[in-house]
Amino acid sequence: MLGVAYGMYSIIRHRAQPLTRGHSPADAKPVPPGTEYASVRELGEQMAKPNGLTSVDLVSYLQARIRQLDPQLRSIIETNPEALASARALDRERANGNVRGPLHGVPILLKDTIETTGMQTSAGAFGLVGAAADKNAPLVDYLIEQGAVILGKTNMTELAGFRGGPDGWSSRGGQTRNPYKHDADVGGSSSGSAAAVAAGLAPLAVGAETNGSIIVPAALNGVVGLKPSLGLLDRNGIIPASQRQDTPGPMARSVYDVALMLNAMSGSDPRDPESLGAPQGIDYTQLLVPDALKGKRIGYPETFTANGENLPVENSTLFRKTLQVLREQGAILVPVNLRLADASRYGEVLLSDVKEALNGYLAKRTGLPVKSLTELIKFNEDRDGTVADHQPVLEEVSAATLTSAQRKTLWDELIQDFRSTVDDPINAQNLDAMVSDVDSNTYFGVAIAGYPGITVPSGTNDDGLPTGAYFFGTRWTEPTLLAMAYGYEQAAQATTQPEL
């Protein structure tokens, strides 16, 4: 689904609830202070108590919080008018002894690329605002089956960066702000998902990534974000960019909650060639234990790139602290000289993929103002004028000329090259995984390889902005990465909350 590498290119709401002040329903009770930052486990415990917290209480409280705070953050592009009705139905089920799972009655936000019945799926673009999708993306149905309440859709970088514009900005949703500091980088393209979770507007959100679009905003907004292995999750019903890169992924405030989301979202598409060999039926919380790091062999890059210079890792004070925490928890740390693969043609081949994928999606989607990339560009020109350079990347996409056969050859070479940059050191040093941070840009190559990565809060920098530790490994190693991230998270205790 749409989501371009971070920094690579620097209406009417359909049945949407307006983000204005309103009143709580009569059946909603006040919730305890701090509920906005409660974990899924804590929410479940409160809901299990007689006369305790209900889903209606929680949804009503978060809706009021959205109305109060989000006009400044612009993290949510549309709220679900059926959220309270869903919460009431789930409360009745709980009262009758039927609890679907850990997410029963828990609100969740979805990125605006994920098809949701009764709501827009526009990727932040007015050109894609029209009739709602006629069915949910499969992963939305999976979440609903597990009892999640769809709270709304999140703002994002328009067309996930493939229009061209600031990270976190869309013509439909405006500029998403970093809740820690409104003029700080919010990252893209799952900007709204990360910012909303960080601001306590929802405990959970689903993002989507082609390259960097989950990992970067999660790190910059101080939340946990997992970019799964390519093909682990069903990708149907999500506005695409490249089938060789796209994946949805969970975002939350803790590793445990991300693992619970991954459990609920799991289900690959047997028709998707990338899902061949994808593990199924795994409980991703099983390895989340206190001593998860003990004896694990973790590689880390010997050098970091900062301000255009290749510097020893000792020059990164924050990353040294990450390594110290890992070492104190019994991890065996191994310095690795990470080879940089050749990405010189990555942009060319990716934009050609986007051209084919976006044209194919628009041609099949009914009830939209446009049916092709050419029509979308003209729609934007008619709406916004032609004087300003307001869609430079979209025009590059339209001008792409590589054929399907040419792209396949280039992709095969690119992917193999980038996979070897991860595989070789892990195999040579018998490593369980690798660790770095977002500043090292290692997420870029990991995404091209189709490999998994997870970012976990590691504290704040001198400007008071969140930083993250980034764990990555080879394909299908999500259980190991989640375990390591959990062990680090529990030891570091580095998660913070913004002062809103």
**Residue 46 reports pLDDT greater than 80:** yes
Q: Distance between CA 267 and CA 482 in Å, rounded? A: 18
On whether residue 430 sits in a domain, the answer given is no
Q: What would the mean pLDDT of 488-493 be, rounded to a whole number?
A: 98
Within 10 angstroms of residue 200's Cβ, the number of other Cβ atoms is 20
- Beta carbons within 8 Å of 168's beta carbon, 6+ residues apart: 155, 156, 157, 175, 176, 177, 186, 187, 188, 191, 192, 195, 217
Residue bearing tokens 């890169």: 245
Q: What would the mean pLDDT of 143-163 be, rounded to a whole number?
A: 98
**Residue 67 reports pLDDT greater than 70:** yes
Within 10 angstroms of residue 215's Cβ, the number of other Cβ atoms is 33
Provide the 3-class DSSP secondary structure of residue 221. Answer: coil
- For residue 220, give the nearest of 153, 170, 168 by alpha carbon: 168
On whether residue 323 sits in a domain, the answer given is no
| Structure tokens that stand for 276 in this block | 């061949």
Domain range for residue 112? 35-287
On whether residue 116 sits in a domain, the answer given is yes
R_g of the chain, CA atoms, integer Å:
21
Q: What would the mean pLDDT of 121-139 be, rounded to a whole number?
A: 97
Residue bearing tokens 């095969």: 412
At residue 8 the predicted structure's pLDDT band, cuts being 50, 70 and 90, is very low
pLDDT tens digits along 427-460: 999 999 999 999 888 999 999 999 999 999 999 9
On whether residue 110 sits in a domain, the answer given is yes
On whether residue 371 sits in a domain, the answer given is no
On whether residue 39 sits in a domain, the answer given is yes
Provide the 3-class DSSP secondary structure of residue 310. Answer: strand
User: Of 50-64, 295-309, 409-423, which range is least confident?
Assistant: 295-309
Q: How many domains does the chain have?
A: 1
On whether residue 117 sits in a domain, the answer given is yes
**Residues designated catalytic:** 111, 189, 213
**Residues counted in the chain:** 500
Identify the top-confidence range among 18-32, 103-117, 301-315: 103-117
Domain CATH for 226: 3.90.1300.10
Average pLDDT, the chain: 93
**Residue 387 reports pLDDT greater than 80:** no
At residue 114 the predicted structure's pLDDT band, cuts being 50, 70 and 90, is very high
Q: What would the mean pLDDT of 23-33 be, rounded to a whole number?
A: 86
Within 10 angstroms of residue 312's Cβ, the number of other Cβ atoms is 10
pLDDT tens digits along 190-201: 999 999 999 999
On whether residue 381 sits in a domain, the answer given is no
User: Of 42-51, 66-75, 201-210, 435-444, which range is least confident?
Assistant: 435-444
Q: Distance between CA 324 and CA 327 in Å, rounded? A: 5
pLDDT tens digits along 301-347: 988 766 667 778 777 889 999 999 999 999 999 999 988 899 999 99
pLDDT at 305: 65
pLDDT at 388: 81
Within 10 angstroms of residue 342's Cβ, the number of other Cβ atoms is 10
pLDDT tens digits along 246-280: 999 999 999 999 999 999 999 989 999 999 999 99
